[in-house]
Amino acid sequence: MRIYTKILTLFILNVSIAQSEVTIVSASSQAADGLDLKAVSEIFKETQNLEEFEQSLNDPDLGINNLDLDRNGQVDFIRVLEEVVSGTHVIILQAVIGVNEFQDVATIEVENKAEKYNMQIHGHVDIYGPNYFIVPSHVHIQAWPIISWIYRPVYRPFRSVYYFGHYPRWWKSFRPVQLNVYRTRTHGFTSRNTFVVSKTRRVKPVTRLVYKPRSSTKFTRNINVGKTTKKISVKKTTTKANGTKVTKKKGIKKTTNRKTGKTTVKKGKKKTKVNKKGKKTTVTKTRKTTQKKKR
């Protein structure tokens, strides 16, 4: 039995996991919950033109818009702007949150190449995180009323006339609802399978836009509020056949010999050197400390 136990010990590794200091931040901000881009895609598909789309987007009875980027307790009005470059329409959804304070929320990009139409909604990185797209799922978008409208032979790009303090008569400020209420309200749009979330771009970027994307400090200074942070640390302890324990944790290697009672700790120290040209290099030095086992 003892021989069997010794043989078995040679093949056993004891690995223990504890908390560590690896930080993971969520890809999108809490603000993304205030405007579901799948619901936005559905009303875009159903409207006749961009003026009607802007009205539907901000309609409190429809409840698609629940954004409060400046956190003043009121839903922000979203205006619609458009640019057209070489057959590609870039439609900007922009929240009005103060005097000359605008925050881009998303862009709707539609292209027509050789009578082949394609579209995507691209969420702004500050709100939805990097590479967040809503794209059609096996749908021929040329049949949509708004597509035939924006591709008329004589067409002028749409630009909303509204700004802070100057809103349409049909619109009045209203308070945002809680997330569970908002999801219930938009379920009729988001439960459809017309659109899917994607990390891959469908429409090629347009580089000759006159319009420059806008971000508001009223929103970006609070950009990290609402993001979730998790701390996970891993400490690995291995017991070798001779009884020696080796522990590794965040650049520290600790070895304890059961027979001799000695513990050796290796710590890596980082130093930054700057050469004459101003180039920085990081050098890691190792320090060994040997301790005797206390009795």
- Note whether 17 and 46 are same-domain residues: no
Q: Is the pLDDT of residue 291 over 60?
A: no
- Note whether 202 and 266 are same-domain residues: no
- The whole-number pLDDT of residue 113 equals 84
How many domains in the chain?
A: 2
Would you list the DSSP string of 153-165? SS----B---BTT
- Note whether 203 and 282 are same-domain residues: no
- Residue 74 and residue 65 in contact, taking contact as beta carbons nearer than 8 Å: no
Q: Which amino acid is at 143?
A: A
Q: Which amino acid is at 162?
A: Y
Tell me, yes or no, whether 57 lies in a domain.
yes
For 101, what's the count of Cα atoms within 13 Å in the CB-facing half-sphere? Answer: 14
- Note whether 155 and 283 are same-domain residues: no
Tell me, yes or no, whether 128 lies in a domain.
yes
Distances (CA, A) of 146 to 43, 162, 170, 200, 232: 10, 21, 22, 24, 48
- Residue 216 and residue 69 in contact, taking contact as beta carbons nearer than 8 Å: yes
152-197: pLDDT as tens digits: 999 999 999 999 999 999 998 899 999 999 999 999 999 999 999 9
Of 199, 227, 255, which residue constitutes the final position of a domain? Answer: 227
Tell me, yes or no, whether 95 lies in a domain.
yes
Of 175, 205, 227, which residue constitutes the final position of a domain? Answer: 227
- Note whether 252 and 133 are same-domain residues: no
Tell me, yes or no, whether 37 lies in a domain.
yes
- Note whether 131 and 84 are same-domain residues: yes
State the average pLDDT over residues 123-134: 93
- Note whether 211 and 262 are same-domain residues: no
Lookup: tokens for 241: 């056949």
Average pLDDT, the chain: 77
- Note whether 83 and 153 are same-domain residues: yes
Please report, for the chain, how many H helices and E strands are present, in that order: 7, 13
Domain housing 35: 30-227
State the average pLDDT over residues 212-231: 52
Q: Is the pLDDT of residue 23 over 50?
A: no
74-86: pLDDT as tens digits: 999 999 999 999 8
Rg (CA), the chain: 29
- In whole angstroms, what is the distance from residue 290 CA to residue 258 CA? 14
Tell me, yes or no, whether 253 lies in a domain.
yes
Tell me, yes or no, whether 6 lies in a domain.
no
- The whole-number pLDDT of residue 116 equals 87
- Note whether 175 and 77 are same-domain residues: yes
Tell me, yes or no, whether 64 lies in a domain.
yes
- Note whether 16 and 43 are same-domain residues: no
Of 206, 227, 248, which residue constitutes the final position of a domain? Answer: 227
- Note whether 154 and 270 are same-domain residues: no
Q: Where are the beta strands (DSSP E) in the chain?
A: 22-25, 77-85, 88-98, 101-113, 116-123, 133-136, 195-198, 229-232, 236-239, 245-249, 252-256, 263-274, 280-291
- Residue 192 and residue 129 in contact, taking contact as beta carbons nearer than 8 Å: no
